[in-house]
Structure 1
């Protein structure tokens, strides 16, 4: 999985697609993510957690080599109303059923969740597993039609999500937080209320997201902490004539607490 460099910078492609349109890339996403989890000591990831690749309401962002052979990171947006509950519902519903009402209310105008964010060791430190994938996910949200986004954040991603326009949602859990004793992890519920206007985002992040949104397919030299990377963005989603958010919302059923969803060893946290 060696990176290609040009003028001292790694060169990668960041591509967006609907999960069911590209099963082979979904499999490479899953394999790459599993390698990362194994490296940090997570030995077993249940196969059911990969059902998102068959979810018609899941959208994927993948960071790969320009030839598509190597994968360096990824993220996903799951839209409420697909074949699965949102990951945040699975992770917190057993502890506070109010999450189901909250998601349901937002889902009436179209909502989703940013999740599954990861990057490989080869590309660590260049912002792929943090700011650049997060910006790209928000950039494509209007193509999907959703108005808002949820995120369940580990402590080290809270500031990142605030920069791109999320706010803490204190109406669920313990003022927005959930504690997982097996993992000794505090997770925080965040919501981006308006993916179109991004009123709470920093000026720098808002400007970058809107440029990605307006241009879709563009090459940018990105910089994080004096490290530069060349990213070939391909954010124009294909086959969107086959996607109908209105129908997804119409067919949606409200989720309820289900112990089968919950596996503390296998949480999907940003």
Structure 2
């Protein structure tokens, strides 16, 4: 059984550290990348960063994860830091009401199951409907652009060279993508939209997922906790 749950970063430092070390290890070992903006650790203290973590039932082994970070003027979104030097208009473009899904990764143990390619992207879009946002951003590698399209993202041709940049290295192409209506998801694949809707309507459930390597059960717990020390932020579907 695999657990997928969400929490605000400062609420669970131990899980944040497991997420961080797993992501960093993957980037360094398999891609030779050590400096990537979503690999920065500042998000761990950031109340407006929601962590999606994929782990075993004991919550001690982490198989992957992603983060949804809200633009709040306190911590820049990774996309701002990543592409600002190539296209400075990103700074005025990202404003309150924007969020980004970033830092998506899965361990080699679950490679081929669809955790990174299906589950995390889908969950990110599920969370977006709980947040007070108008635009949802993502910076995709070439292999993940089609995944972004499936869950409703469109290439943001207003940035860079029709949406593309060389990042994080000169031989890596990144594509900026955006959802301008997180609720209606007009560009999402119809089958994918049904799966997203089911998760949005049933934030806590156990579900059989089918990936390239067969089927597996997932325990989902996707309700974003309200702020511990301030007024809860409410979005389309509340928290």
Common fold, TM-score beyond 0.5?
yes
Residue among 23, 35, 39 paired with 2:29? 39
Residues in 1 aligned to 2:120 and 2:8: alpha-carbon distance in whole angstroms: 16
Q: Secondary structure at the match of 1:40?
A: helix
Q: Which has the larger radius of gyration?
A: 1
Residues in 1 aligned to 2:168 and 2:220: alpha-carbon distance in whole angstroms: 39
C-alpha distance after superposition, 1:29-62 (max 9, x if no partner): 1121122223215374589811111112111000
2:129 corresponds to 1:113: no
Residues in 2 aligned to 1:101 and 1:45: alpha-carbon distance in whole angstroms: 24
Greater helix share, structure number = 1
2:203 corresponds to 1:212: no
Higher relative contact order (CA 8 A, sep 6+): 1
Mark the CA change 1:127 to 1:181 in structure 2 (over 3 Å): closer, same or farther.
closer
Q: Secondary structure at the match of 2:41?
A: helix
Match of 2:7 in 1: 17
- CA drift of 1:84 comes to 1.3
1:157-196 → structure 2 map (5 Å cutoff):
157-180=144-167, 182-196=169-183
2:217 corresponds to 1:227: no
Residues in 1 aligned to 2:136 and 2:40: alpha-carbon distance in whole angstroms: 20
Please list every run of 5 or more consecutive structure 1 residues that lacks an aligned counterpart in the other structure.
1-10, 247-270
1:56 and 1:83 in contact (8 A); partners too: no
Residue among 64, 79, 90 paired with 1:99? 90
RMSD: 2.1
Residue among 71, 76, 83 paired with 2:62? 71
2:49 corresponds to 1:62: no
Count the aligned residue pairs: 232
C-alpha distance after superposition, 1:126-163 (max 9, x if no partner): 11112111101111122232232101111111111001
- CA drift of 1:183 comes to 4.0
Residues in 1 aligned to 2:161 and 2:231: alpha-carbon distance in whole angstroms: 37
Mark the CA change 1:215 to 1:165 in structure 2 (over 3 Å): closer, same or farther.
same
Residue among 121, 129, 139 paired with 2:126? 139
Q: TM-score, normalised by structure 1?
A: 0.80
Please list every run of 5 or more consecutive structure 2 residues that lacks an aligned counterpart in the other structure.
235-239
Mark the CA change 1:162 to 1:44 in structure 2 (over 3 Å): closer, same or farther.
closer
Match of 2:189 in 1: 202
Mark the CA change 1:243 to 1:151 in structure 2 (over 3 Å): closer, same or farther.
farther
Mark the CA change 1:127 to 1:76 in structure 2 (over 3 Å): closer, same or farther.
same
- CA drift of 1:83 comes to 2.5
Residues in 2 aligned to 1:42 and 1:180: alpha-carbon distance in whole angstroms: 13
